[in-house]
Amino acid sequence: MRLIITEKNDAAKKIAGILSGNGVRSDSYLKVPYYMFDDVEGTPSVAVGLKGHVVQVDFPPEFSEWRKVEPRELIDAPLVKTETAKSVVRTVKKLAADADSLIIATDFDREGELIGLEALNLAVEENGRLVRFVRRARYSALTPGEIKRAFSNLDHLSEPLALAGEARQDIDLIWGATLTRFVSLATGRLGSQFLSVGRVQTPTLVLIAEREKERRAFVSEPFWVVKVDLEAGGQRFSALHKEERFSDEARATAVFEKLASPGKVTAVKQTSRKVQKPAPFNTTSFTSAATSLGYSAAAAMRIAEDLYMSGHISYPRTDNTVYPQSLDLREALEVLANGEFAREVAQLLSRDSLHASRGDKRTTDHPPIYPTGSPRRGELGDREWRLYELVVRRFMATLSDDAVMESNRVDVNITGEPFVARGNRVLSAGWLEHYPYSRQKDLELPLLNEGDLVDVVDKQIDARETQPPARYGQGTLIELMEKHNLGTKATRHAIIQNLYDRGYVHGNPVEPTEMGMKMAEALQEYAPRIASPEMTAELEKDMDLISERDLTKEQVVRISRDLLRQAYGMLETNRQAVASKIYEGITDDRILGDCPKCGTHRIRIIRSKATKKRFVGCEGYPDCDQTYPLPQRGDVIGTGEICPQCGSPKVKILGGRRPWILCLDPHCPTKAEYAAKRAARASKAAAAGEGDGEAATTAKKTGTKAAGTKAATTKTAATKTAAKKPAAAKKTTAKKPAAAKTTTARKTGTATRATRSKATEPAPSGDGGEA
């Protein structure tokens, strides 16, 4: 019998179906399914799927007690492999016992080669004769053509490639465990509170921390924008002063004040441009698009996994952005022909030929993500449906046409000042028809000719200030990680989640805690190698050398151990400095804001020595005795906000299904509302049978169109007025004598803007990653 081992059950099942001449009998052992069949030549075969890695590298048990082992000892400690999926291992061994040949059919990438070697070792342990009859099937899609091709062109397992993967495993564990224990022991953060360090997570944290530093160093500068509302032929449109940003208020005001009807058109320009259809989805672009729809990266991947397991979409963990030859695109469309997208699909199917877009990344692992099933809307939950629809729409978009956009520009001279009105509209929607997510509304300008006169019906002057670079959203962060080669398609979302779980970051967009900032800083200073993407870059090079047999795994790991020994020496010498730096961050994280009672001191989280319970108290004690109770579970994060009702600082409690924002004053009237809301949510979740805490993730991708600027958010009395009656307070009309109104015009203009921009910002409580 021929034994075929794949990386996952789904692949074993599909391969059996494709290769069988006369049907497949499925059976299982210890709940692990396997598939028996005779191929077209009559060879009896059995296919079984692993669950990814089924063994794990680890230290022997005598190194497991953190307090009893110097972290330094881990550097040269022996490594052992332990079985992590015992039932799978036993099933593989049971099937290997009866096999006379073995085909490794794990994924076509480096990690697949390593998983294949692990499976081979297990099989040979059980049945030594197999070692002479091992072949490797390499396929990049689970399609009949591709599988048949791979199985009629069997290859050999590349041991050097698998060993390159092992080198990575060993180095990650040795560095990660040694440094994780070092920082945890140095700061006394043991048990569930431990602080972690790793080749991927630490440089990722550094990226986040560096952006935060830029934000803190940013000095915002005021500027003024002068805008007019114009009218021609009954159609209203707006124009901006050509200068766009005035750095001089007096000059802006002077320009504003002299503006009067009419304006004269000095130039009209029209251009059209092609907007290319998007590339097929790989994991990175899919998660990025999903985070724009309000999903956390981890939630998007979990739902994608569900959709894949239900047969609705193809394998969701892929780097590939080019549909392989073996994928029949027309057939894939036909799957959708009778479903919810029938009309749009029919339109594409009516074409003589289909031309798909191609992305930059072409890999051998899997096809890009595309729909493979056609569930009805009601079959899926709303959150599942919206991601399925995203995949379908992207797929259709990649088979559609480029869009054509028209841009219009009208230059207008108003009392000697140059103004510019810009418009745009879609001439030919093409792919935008199928994929409306990023589509902007048309902004039409009236038909004008040079020399035409236009009415100035309104004018505004807005005071704004330049804004620091935005924090990263999870989608942007994943793209950034990919750019730096940090993590893989299958792990990036989990790495980010890990930073949340460790308390290094919180919020959405991703904001570092003070502890996270200091951890990044300490490691950058005392162990720079682990804090930079360079370590990964060099490891990648070494892995290539191993797979080409220019270096051995042992050589690479030995050099890495030497480097770690040096890094460790530096950390040990500066143990105190490292610990106190991280403590500084931890201490800063406890400060929740100014004390509402004394106003001179700050309030912070304290743990009572007597009762071991935590509470909030004023730093001015005993002069000020202000205290607040705190929930005893979950991490407490200061929000920097004050409750408008009770005047006490608001805090965020993490650790439940979703972050919980509350004001410290237990008698605040908002408490009743919270209680009611929580109760309503709880009963809703109970009714749905699942509350995954992701519903709060309503954040949108931060818009970058404003090129780093948005309205100043100074809160003045005018803000409230404007927010309540925008129509009245919004603008100063050009007809009124402007002189006395200048200040008002500026303030209210700002306030209106502030209100508006606020509405498009991410929901402050949308902590997708923390749920």
The footprint of DNA (CB under 7 A) covers 7-10, 49, 51-54, 56-59, 63-67, 74, 84-85, 107, 109, 111, 115, 168-169, 172-173, 175-177, 180-181, 184, 190-191, 194, 196-202, 305, 309, 317, 487-491, 494-495, 498
SS (H, E, C) 136-196: ECCCCCCCHHHHHHHHHCCECCCHHHHHHHHHHHHHHHHHHHHHHHHHHHHHCCCHHHCCC
Cβ at position 487, least distance to DNA in Å: 4
**What DSSP string describes 566-613?**
HHHHHHHHTHHHHHHHHHHHHHHHHEEEE-TTTSSSEEEEEE-TTT--
From the CA atom positions of the chain, what is the Rg in Å?
Answer: 31
Cα dihedral angle (686, 691, 693, 699), rounded to 10 degrees?
Answer: -90
From the list 295, 308, 315, 500, the catalytic residue is 315
Cβ at position 172, least distance to DNA in Å: 4
Q: What number of other Cβ atoms are within 10 A of residue 416's Cβ?
A: 8
Residues contacting 533, CB < 8 A, separation 6+ = 203, 484, 485, 486
In 3D space, the residue among 339, 288, 280, 355 whose CA is nearest the CA of residue 315 turns out to be 280
Known catalytic membership, residue 621:
no
Distance, CA of 590 to CA of 618 (rounded, Å): 12
Which neighbouring-strand residues pair with 135?
Answer: 103
Residues contacting 142, CB < 8 A, separation 6+ = 10, 11, 14, 15, 18, 315
Cβ at position 343, least distance to DNA in Å: 33
Pair 663, 670: CB distance under 8 Å: yes
| DSSP for residue 768 | G
Q: Distance from first CA to last CA of the chain, Å, rounded? A: 48
Nearer to DNA, 230 or 299 (CB): 299
Nearer to DNA, 177 or 230 (CB): 177
| The residue type at 744 | T
Cβ at position 49, least distance to DNA in Å: 6
Pair 3, 123: CB distance under 8 Å: yes
Nearer to DNA, 107 or 694 (CB): 107
Distance, CA of 536 to CA of 737 (rounded, Å): 65
In 3D space, the residue among 652, 225, 215, 181 whose CA is nearest the CA of residue 464 turns out to be 225
Which neighbouring-strand residues pair with 267?
Answer: 411
Pair 697, 291: CB distance under 8 Å: no
Pair 592, 514: CB distance under 8 Å: no
Cβ at position 571, least distance to DNA in Å: 15
Distance, CA of 358 to CA of 281 (rounded, Å): 10
By residue count, the chain amounts to 771
Nearer to DNA, 301 or 751 (CB): 301
Q: Are strands 505-506 and 453-466 parallel, antiparallel or unpaired?
A: unpaired
Pair 248, 480: CB distance under 8 Å: no
Nearer to DNA, 10 or 231 (CB): 10
Active site residues: 315
